[in-house]
Amino acid sequence: MKYIKIKNLFNKIPIGKIVCVGRNYAEHAKELGNEIPERPVVFLKPPSSVIYSGEKIIYPTFSNEMQHEVELVLLIGKKIKDADEKVSEKAIAGYGVGLDMTLRDIQSELKKNGHPWTIAKCFDTSSVLSDFILKNDYALTLNEEISLVINNENRQCEKLKMMLFPPAELVQYISSLMTLEEGDLIFTGTPKGVGKVEKGDKLFARIDNIAELSCIVG
């Protein structure tokens, strides 16, 4: 079982489901040749795909193009269903930074055939998590910058306010589709600048005032 690690807190919360949002930054939707969506694109990743800062991302043998997606991750703190925006905001317990590693060659093939993205998104080590900071300890302004540096080179860098759907709106929408529970995580989509990683790459992800993580590709 995988757990959520919270800064300055020792109780372990098991990870529930991981809900991911695609195309939540206009410039990223464009770079992959996608339309800007009217509603967030939603998919799931299994908790078994999770590793933590300091661990190794393993390149699957069935892909030649693993790409990085750095994302703000929301921690859900209570059970909600069909919540309004206010209740949705209250259900967010904390924030972290995460990597949604993606097999772009596989995903392109799956998209072409109208198949689900499971094989491209759910492999072991595909979800990297930082420690989380509780909302009680930090109030998100969306002026924070999210960034990913690989081998000292800036690859992704954007203000969180460039998100098409801000956190509470995402939670509200997802809660209209499925029950959200304590320990669920929401990956909120990646800004522009996604690209390929190679074995030996050192990744460093960060969101101002919230969290950072580092890992190596093996």
User: Which residues of this chain interact with Zn ion, rule CB under 5 A?
Assistant: 69, 100, 190
Tokens encoding 51: 């590793």
d(CA 218, CA 212): 20
Residue 73, beta-bridge partner list: 96, 187
**How far apart are CB 100 and Zn ion at their closest, in Å?**
3
d(CA 97, CA 72): 5
**How far apart are CB 152 and Zn ion at their closest, in Å?**
24
* ∠ Cα 39 40 45 (to 5°): 150
C-beta of 20 vs 76, nearer to Zn ion: 20
**How far apart are CB 121 and Zn ion at their closest, in Å?**
8
**How far apart are CB 193 and Zn ion at their closest, in Å?**
13
C-beta of 28 vs 93, nearer to Zn ion: 28
C-beta of 80 vs 128, nearer to Zn ion: 128
Q: Report the sign of the C-alpha dihedral through residues 90, 121, 60, 202, in that order.
A: negative
Q: Which residue is nearest to Zn ion (CB)?
A: 100
C-beta of 90 vs 118, nearer to Zn ion: 118
Contact, 116 vs 133, CB < 8 A?
A: no
C-beta of 69 vs 158, nearer to Zn ion: 69
**How far apart are CB 14 and Zn ion at their closest, in Å?**
22
C-beta of 18 vs 93, nearer to Zn ion: 18
**How far apart are CB 4 and Zn ion at their closest, in Å?**
18
- For the stretch 77-89, what's the b/e string if a residue is b when 16 or more beta carbons lie within 10 angstroms of its beta carbon? beebeebeeebbb
Q: What is the CA radius of gyration of the chain?
A: 16
For 61-75, the DSSP string reads TT-S-EEE-EEEEEE
